[in-house]
Structure 1
Amino acid sequence: MDGGQSLQSTTGFGELLRIRRERIGLTQQVLADHATLSVRAIRDMESGRVQRPRQETVRLLADALRLEGRSRSAFEAAARRQTLAEEPRDEPTAPPVARGAIVGRDLEVEVLAEALAVHGDRLITVAGLGGVGKTRLVLEVAQRLHLTAGWSVRWIDWARLPGLSPERRADLSRSIGTRPTLLVLDGAETGLEATLLDELFQRCPGLCVLITARVPQALPGGQVIPLAPLPTPGPELDHDPVALAEVGAVRLLLSHLRRLRPGYRLEPEEAPAVAALCRQLDGLPGALELAAGWSTVLSPRQLVARLADGPFHLAPPPAAFGGRGDVGAALGAALDRLTLGQRDLLERLAAEPGDWSGEDAVELSGRPPQESLAAVHELLASGLIRSFPARDGVRFTVLNLCRRLFGAAGAYPVLATAS
């Protein structure tokens, strides 16, 4: 990110001013000369003694710091937030309370929080497969912004209550006003109009919108961030419990196992089964949670054996753990949304062993490069493939569950109707 500054150190205007000045190697005196301001004014703003910098002062500083584009917008937004923060107001509205810990998403939380609070993004969609943890991630980001930056959070479960009537829209914009606010539209996959967002952004200058969706809508000015499953361990770690426990998918699975089986330890003899379980379930948080729900009656090795016979028929345990549906439901829904061309390409890629590049996908599909690469992009956004950096560029793999699905006769109709 922009200089790697943490959220805590960049939300205040004075601190952001100091960071920008030092980044280009200016002293307070030199910046004051360039901005035609006094060095005392610079010193007072950086120390926080000046709480409400004038708009013209902020413009002069931005010019002197040679800020453009998003960097300039973020700088000006920080000054507005500083001013707004000093105005009398009610306590900021808190986000919903999380029902469980988040594991393995530290980097994603930091990136999203900085994109909103530091870099000035106002509209972001987090897209991915059902059960990949979109809602939990966004909830963590909302909590971070609320606690460290004092933002209000408005949360709308779009799947349950799609759309906003004109009356509710007006009430929402009035209640938000000018304060820094994060509006979360959870599950907003259809029915979200760009005009609604434009109206809210105009009326609420401190508003940012964060959307979760299995399939993102095309919204002007918005950023789409695909959320991949958690990293899974390679076979080389199967006999190293210490290294294995540092991998994201394993960390999450172990956190579930230890809650259900207090005192559980990852012993060397059970480590290969735990690693295999994470690989079979592709590091999908929802699938790992569901599998862990059976750990009171089945060991990891027994679970691996059951999944080898058919991972799509592992139902929720009788005492529902987390309320998850069966493992294949989310995958089947994602496949149902593919076009015929995307589905055909995915089947071809699933039949190929190992990983592949965008150029490989073009060659395998036999279609025009732009069309093939667009299909890869959609498969990535849908969460059916994952990407990773390599020496020769970005490479991809098809989820193991997809490979199993296409290799199992008659499995797809079962998935498509699963609840």
Structure 2
Amino acid sequence: MNTDTNKDTSTDRHHDAPTGPAAQETSRVGALIRAHRLRIGLTQRELADLSTISVRAIRDLEQGKARRPRPDTVRLMADALRLGQRARAALEAAAQQGRGGGACWAQPPAPPTALHAMPGRDAETALLVRELTSGAERLTHLVGLGGVGKTRVALEVAERVHDAGMPVLWYGFPGASADYLAHGEGELSDRVAGAVAELCATAAVDAPLVEGPQGPILPGVGAAGFGVAALAELVGEQRVLLVLDGAPATGPRCDRLTGLLRACPGLRLLVTSEQPWEVPGERIFLLAPLEVPAEGAVDAGSPAVRVFLDHVRRVRPEFTPGPVDMEQVAWLCRRLDGHPGALASAASWLVVCDLTTLCHGLDADPVALLDHLGGGAGADRFRVALRSRLDRLSAGARELLDALCAQGPDVGPGRDGAEFDLPGITALTGRGLPESGRMLRELLIAGAVRAAHESGGSRFRVLGLVRASVRSGSRVAAAVGP
């Protein structure tokens, strides 16, 4: 054996010892591969060259970090090891046993604990729970304007799924709302974070993929050495819900996402963000603002009214609304479209003003009061998120929105508070039905437009906050000039 081979063997002996809490016990398939490799005197590098499987994948299998190799991986490994029929069958049986496994939790991992109640979302929550637990949907993307309550709905769905006995793994992206009490899970959190980093990494999007036990993976990405393969091993074929909260607009690579879903047939994903990934198999679930009292009505049980009064009591515990107050609250909820984030910001201003003054301010310019009075980090999150989302619209969708918002209070389908339909859009823009439909869909997904499907028809309305933001931006642009 030459000097280089001796050096490789020494390196292999260093890596052969299982390391880390994820590899406390070598798997049966890993032990067989290592035994056959050493029997015929191959290093991990030589086995990798013969089998076309990466050194890292072989090392993970032998150390027990990965226990669920794909059938193709097992076949290539058996060919490279020159196994006979009986030894090959034993290796395939060990791999099959690993594929049927997954972690055995004494108690299923739980989602974070929500800090506040969530009125008015029973229908959406029930539908999401039913789809995810039944497996009718495996990749559900909860989409809506910033501050509309996507994280809170995801928490409620996760809690109900967990109560039904399904493990829940939760990952919040940097910058996501964290209005909850998180549960620290140690290595479990590392595995989830590593897999998410591998799925959604942007810095190494063009890096070459290598063959892993569950398929192609991106090398060198993931927390504490964990990645998609480690998460796939953890989940196995169990029914598990993985929640990705506050996901970035740039979605994951489809091959990595598809590989994870294929390797884990019981895995369901619930993603929250301001816009969908538009990947195959994605179920887009649009989350609209809360229902508001009808024009001229005072409904204390309205979800928007309940949310607003709940926020008011946090800053004004002594506040007891009378009949006139309730009329103003109902008007305020309609003016803010029942948007939870806007309602929370408006309520914060009651520390320094009364309800009548607040309503006058909102009537004049609602955008000016969308920043939380308390200031500090995130005080302007809703207003910034609103304008940022509108800035990301395509040129055609933005032109349509500007045209709708430019209509006077009594003119055209975009007049304040008025509903419109798709034929009205085609008449306003002069474009064909297919193009108008695509632009309208983009405005719906962006949260700029709200749908009303009643009496068999589909009608739409631009949110008042969006209209005010667009008009405010137009006034600023006109004042600045070219």
Task: State the TM-score, normalized to the length of structure 1.
Answer: 0.72
Equivalent residue, structure 2, for 1:342: 397
- Spell out, residue by residue over 1:118-171, the C-alpha distance to the aligned partner (whole angstroms, 9 max, x if none): 352111101111111111111110011001x11111112234677323632222
Comparing 266-275 with 304-313, greater Cα deviation is found at 304-313
Q: Which residue of structure 2 lines up, in the alignment, with residue 168 of structure 1?
A: 227
TM-fit CA distance, 1:374: 0.8
Partner of 1:99: 115
Deviations 1:311-357 (A, max 9, x none): 22226445459954255222201110111110111122232221011
Q: Which runs of 5+ in 2 are unaligned?
A: 1-99, 176-192, 199-220, 408-413
Q: Once the 2 structures are TM-superposed, how far is the Cα of residue 398 of structure 1 from its aligned partner? A: 0.3
Distance 2:162 2:434 in 1: 42
Q: Are the counterparts in 2 of residues 406 and 412 from structure 1 also a CA contact under 8 Å?
A: no
Identical residues among aligned pairs (%): 37
CA distance in 2, matches of 1:323, 1:293: 14
Q: Distance in 2 between matches of 1:396 and 1:315?
A: 24
User: Aligned partners of 1:123 and 1:394: how far apart in 2?
Assistant: 26
- Amino acid across the alignment from 1:270: D
Equivalent position of 1:390 in the other structure: 454
Match of residue 218, structure 1, among 278, 281, 286: 278
Q: Tell me what 2:261 maps to.
A: 201
Structure 2 counterpart of 1:228, from 272, 288, 293: 288
In the TM superposition, what are the counterparts of 1:76-95 in structure 2 within 5 Å?
Answer: 89-95=105-111
**In the alignment, residue 150 of structure 1 is paired with which amino acid?**
G
Q: Letter of the aligned partner of 2:172 in structure 1?
A: D
Q: Counterpart of 1:187?
A: 246
Contact 2:150 2:272 (C-alpha < 8 Å) held by counterparts: yes
Give the Cα–Cα distance (whole angstroms) in 1 for the partners of residues 125 and 395 of structure 2.
35
Structure 1 stretches lacking a partner, 5+ long: 1-82, 415-419
- In the alignment, the residues of structure 2 paired with residue 254 and residue 318 of structure 1 have an alpha-carbon distance, to the nearest angstrom, of 17
1:309-388 superposed matches below 5 A: 309-314=364-369, 316-317=371-372, 319=374, 323-325=378-380, 327-350=382-405, 351=407, 352-353=414-415, 354-388=418-452
- Is 1:154 the counterpart of 2:153 in the alignment? no
TM-score (norm 2): 0.63
Give the distance between the partners of 2:377 and 2:125, measured in 1 at CA. Answer: 22
Q: How many residues align?
A: 325
Asked if residue 303 in structure 1 is aligned to residue 358 in structure 2, the reply is yes
Secondary structure class of the residue paired with 1:235: coil
Match of 1:44 in 2: none
Paired residues of 2:372 and 2:379 also in contact (CA < 8 A): no
Mapped partners of 1:183, 1:409: distance in 2: 39
Say whether the 8 Å CA contact 1:289–1:322 is kept in structure 2. Answer: no
Q: Matched residue of 1:356: which SS?
A: coil
User: Secondary structure in 1 aligned to 2:323?
Assistant: coil
Superposition pairs for residues 27-66 of structure 1, below 5 Å?
Answer: none
* Kept after mapping to 2: 8 A contact 1:163/1:191: no
Report if the CA contact (8 A) 2:162-2:168 is conserved: yes
Cα offset, 1:366, TM superposition = 1.0
Distance in 2 of aligned mates of 1:411 and 1:114: 46
Cα contact 2:422–2:433 (8 A) shared by 1: no
CA–CA separation in structure 1 for the residues paired with 2:101 and 2:301: 42
1:260, distance to aligned residue in structure 2 (A): 2.8
Which deviations, in whole Å up to 9, do the C-alpha atoms of 1:243-268 show, x marking residues without a partner? x1121211111111223333533310
Q: What letter matches 1:227 in structure 2?
A: L
Contact 1:315 1:325 (C-alpha < 8 Å) held by counterparts: yes
Moved more, 367-376 or 317-326: 317-326
> What's the Cα RMSD here?
2.6
1:326 and 1:381 mapped to 2: Cα distance? Answer: 19
TM-fit CA distance, 1:359: 1.6
Aligned CA distance change for structure 1 residues 337 and 308 (closer, same or farther; 3 Å)? same
Displacement of 1:412 in angstroms is 6.0
Query: How far apart are 1:225 and its partner, in Å?
Result: 0.9
Deviation at 1:234, TM superposition (A): 2.3
Task: Indicate conservation of the 8 Å contact 1:405/1:411, yes or no.
Answer: no
Residue 257 in structure 1 maps to residue 312 in structure 2: yes
